[in-house]
A and B are shown apart, each in its own frame.
Chain A
Amino acid sequence: EAQVTQNPRYLITVTGKKLTVTCSQNMNHEYMSWYRQDPGLGLRQIYYSMNVEVTDKGDVPEGYKVSRKEKRNFPLILESPSPNQTSLYFCASSDRGSNTDTQYFGPGTRLTVL
């Protein structure tokens, strides 16, 4: 089954404790992206990747890092999480990042930073 998976689905952590949210897709997509969803703000793009070793900032990259060492994986790293990073995070992928391609979204990771 074609899908985007994220782990963990739920995470409660404390300020400053490094964490990684994994994202994996099995569709051989070149383009992957991370978003955060906050009430009243919709989805905002954090980082995206056009291919292996090619990443770029979205609209809200501060406090986040990403890496793309393999085509299928695109982990989101919070080196020193803060309470304002409490949010619902979605990973998405699409084929070649073409302007006509649909993004396929993962199930989301709900992060709470205390």
Chain B
Amino acid sequence: AQSVSQHNHHVILSEAASLELGCNYSYGGTVNLFWYVQYPGQHLQLLLKYFSGDPLVKGIKGFEAEFIKSKFSFNLRKPSVQWSDTAEYFCAVNGAPGGYQKVTFGTGTKLQVIP
């Protein structure tokens, strides 16, 4: 079965600091990768997704992620965080081996940005 690891459970940064959140998945077949964000009290929304083509994906609000197939990784980055980026971030994968109907999420990373 597919599994997704997010190694950073809780990250605290000052405003303007750079952000990188790790995401690794276990199955190396054809996969599609997503980052979702959950702001306090809100439901999940998509930040960005990768399914083919350029491995560097740009999303909303200045976020980007890089798919490195050889490392089974899809790390999320932002050059300069803002207080409004305080949220929980989830990496997700669908595709092999369960098929694209089955979606596996990581355990999430809580980001706290201090003004």
Chain A interfacial positions (CB closer than 8 Å to B): 31, 33, 35, 40-45, 48, 50, 56, 58-59, 90, 92, 97-100, 102-103, 105-108
Contact = CB atoms under 8 A, between A and B. Distances in A.
Interface of B: 1, 4, 6, 9, 32, 34, 36, 42-46, 49, 51, 90, 92, 94-95, 100-108
Contacts of A45: 102-105
Contact of A99 (B44, B100, B104): B100
A100 B49 CA distance: 8
B105 A42 contact: yes
Nearest to B91: A42
B99 to A, nearest CB: 9
Contact of B108 (A33, A35, A42, A105): A42
A97 B100 contact: yes
Interface centre among A44, A50, A92, A105 (most CB of B within 10 A): A105
Contacts, number: 60
A59 B105 CA distance: 11
A37 B100 CA distance: 20
B45 to A, nearest CB: 7
26 contacts: A40-B107, A42-B4, A42-B6, A42-B105, A43-B92, A43-B105, A45-B102, A45-B104, A45-B105, A48-B103, A58-B102, A97-B100, A97-B101, A99-B32, A99-B100, A100-B32, A100-B49, A100-B51, A103-B44, A103-B103, A105-B43, A105-B44, A105-B45, A106-B43, A107-B42, A108-B43
B2 to A, nearest CB: 9
Contacts of A99: 32, 51, 94-95, 100
Contacts of A41: 107
Nearest to B50: A100
A95 to B, nearest CB: 12
Nearest to A49: B101
A50 B101 contact: yes
Contacts of B108: 42-43
A44 B104 CA distance: 7
